[in-house]
């Protein structure tokens, strides 16, 4: 019995695991029927987005020993919302801060309940501190603030996946 040549690339188990977890949290947010549970899934999506960014950073560093955090920032700033999501996640993780509110806005996704989560305005979050490096804060303000969470997180995650 002869084995044919497979033209498909081997599965990337690490990326698949992170993507599966993000997609599950995303889908739970879409299907959520209890407003109080939306923040739970936002927290999950932020965590898996962070995991993906750390995976990408580790792989870029493995390919280039001189790869720095500044190089990482320059690469991921090509994906709107990525630096902002990494930065705002710290408030969700360490302060259990409220980063979003449910609002009646248009989203690219139809959800189980009326209204979707929208990122809060930076000015409405007195607990935040503008970081020494202003790029993550500026990215949050330009690409996440006052936008639907489902749309912006999906774009940031998918964009980070396909960065070379």
Q: What is the pLDDT of residue 9?
A: 62
Give the global pTM. 0.90
Q: 7-11, 12-16, 137-141, 148-152: lowest mean pLDDT where?
A: 7-11
- Across the chain, mean pLDDT equals 92
Q: Give the three-class secondary structure for 96.
A: coil
Q: Where are the domains of the chain?
A: 13-162
State the pLDDT confidence band at 2, using cuts at 50, 70 and 90.
very low
Give the highest mean pLDDT range of 93-97, 105-109, 137-141. 137-141
DSSP sequence for 129-159? ---SS-HHHHHHHHHTTTSBHHHHHHHHHHH
Q: Which two tokens stand for residue 58?
A: 């580790």
Q: What is the pLDDT of residue 96?
A: 87
Statement: residue 14 has pLDDT above 50: yes
State the pLDDT confidence band at 1, using cuts at 50, 70 and 90.
very low
Q: What is the mean pLDDT of residues 24-35?
A: 96
CA angle centred on 47, ends 13 and 12, rounded to 5°: 10
Question: How far, in Å, CA of 137 to CA of 158, rounded?
Answer: 21
């Amino acid at each position: 019995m002869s084995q044919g040549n497979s033209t498909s690339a081997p599965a990337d188990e690490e990326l698949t695991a992170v993507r599966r977890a993000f997609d599950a949290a995303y889908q739970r947010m879409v299907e959520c029927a209890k407003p109080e549970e939306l923040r739970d899934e936002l927290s999950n999506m932020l965590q898996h987005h962070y995991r993906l960014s750390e995976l990408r950073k580790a792989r870029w560093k493995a390919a280039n020993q001189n790869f720095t955090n500044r190089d990482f920032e320059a690469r991921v700033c090509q994906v709107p919302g990525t630096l902002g999501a990494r930065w705002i996640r710290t408030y969700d993780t360490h302060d259990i801060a409220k980063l979003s509110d449910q609002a009646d806005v248009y989203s690219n996704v139809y959800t189980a309940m009326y209204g979707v989560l929208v990122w809060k305005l930076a000015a409405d979050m007195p607990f935040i501190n503008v970081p020494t490096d202003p790029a993550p804060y500026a990215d949050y303000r330009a690409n996440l603030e006052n936008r639907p969470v489902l749309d912006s997180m999906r774009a940031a995650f998918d964009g980070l996946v396909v960065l070379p």
